[in-house]
Amino acid sequence: MPVPLVLIGGGGHCMACIDVIETLGIYSIKGIVDKKEKAGRPVLGYKIISHDNEIPQLAQKFDNFLITLGQIKTPEKRVKFFLMLEKLKVSMPVLISPHAWVSRNSRIKKGTIIMHHALVNAGAAIGNNCIINSKALVEHGAVIGDHCHISTGAIVNGGADVKEGCFIGSGAIIRQGISIGEKSVIGAGVRVMKNVEAETLLTQ
């Protein structure tokens, strides 16, 4: 029997998450949480049933939640919802697309989603509430901190350490062994060849 699941965030990333969820065939989406003025609107056939302030009431009815809000400039909203859900003691499952490759020797923490055609290699460790987006590569021994978004086609090479709250843009390449400081933003297509300090915006 499908497991009931509530989604938080009804934008473009939510649509991509829905596609992964439907492909898995394990969960039954019971609705989406978004802004109050969007109530009743459908997202790929699933209605926005509630808004942020009503999450505690939903947590009394449902056990499983997934944060489907995207992340580019800052992880603050995703972090806020993650901490709220932790306090409510609900489950935030790890979702892995059946079209992704994830090594059995990797570690992935709660609330993280691995999108279609992503690859997570042996010894990689991925934190809580992360997005490993379509065709992203997380190589052997790489560490991805909590609340990170590794965007489409990005490459995090072996032994690299991406600290908490980072965004790695589409097609960016992180050299092996490099450290990316927390809450940094690495732009699309950027090649990172040396360590990056915390809260850095790197666009070239």
pLDDT band at 5 (very low <50, low <70, confident <90, very high): very high
Residue 147 has pLDDT above 90, yes or no: yes
pLDDT mean over 83-108: 98
For 96, the enclosing helix (H) or strand (E) is: strand 95-96
pLDDT band at 204 (very low <50, low <70, confident <90, very high): confident
The pTM assigned to this predicted structure is: 0.95
pLDDT at 22: 97
In terms of Cα–Cα distance, which of 152, 139, 178 is closest to 192?
178
pLDDT at 125: 99
- Which segment of 15-29, 64-78, 148-162 scores lowest on mean pLDDT? 64-78
Residue 186 has pLDDT above 90, yes or no: yes
What whole-number distance in Å separates Cα of residue 150 and Cα of residue 129? 12
Identify the CATH class of 94-204.
mainly beta
In terms of Cα–Cα distance, which of 120, 149, 114 is closest to 134?
114
Pseudo-torsion of CA 9, 116, 128, 79, nearest 10°?
A: -20
Q: Are 151 and 188 within 8 A, CB to CB?
A: yes
Parallel/antiparallel/unpaired status of strands 3-8 and 125-126: unpaired
pLDDT mean over 68-93: 94
pLDDT at 72: 77
Residue 69 has pLDDT above 90, yes or no: yes
Give the number of other CB atoms < 10 A from CB of residue 126.
25
Provide CATH 2.160.10.10 ranges for the chain: 94-204
Q: Are 139 and 122 within 8 A, CB to CB?
A: no
CATH of domain 3-87: 3.40.50.20
What whole-number distance in Å separates Cα of residue 120 and Cα of residue 110? 16
pLDDT band at 51 (very low <50, low <70, confident <90, very high): confident
pLDDT mean over 30-42: 85
Structural tokens at position 130: 């992360």
Residue 140 has pLDDT above 90, yes or no: yes
Provide CATH 3.40.50.20 ranges for the chain: 3-87
Structural tokens at position 44: 């790929």
Please identify which residue in the block is written with the tokens 């072996």.
158
Residue 166 has pLDDT above 90, yes or no: yes
Determine if residue 94 is left, alpha or beta; phi over 0 gives left, psi from -120 to 50 gives alpha, anything else beta: beta
The set of residues, in sequence order, having a beta carbon less than 8 Å from that of 165 and lying 6+ positions away, is 74, 75, 79, 145, 146, 147, 148, 182, 183
Structural tokens at position 77: 């909203």
pLDDT band at 196 (very low <50, low <70, confident <90, very high): very high
pLDDT band at 94 (very low <50, low <70, confident <90, very high): very high
What whole-number distance in Å separates Cα of residue 93 and Cα of residue 132? 14
What whole-number distance in Å separates Cα of residue 124 and Cα of residue 107? 6
Structural tokens at position 12: 């473009």
pLDDT band at 32 (very low <50, low <70, confident <90, very high): very high
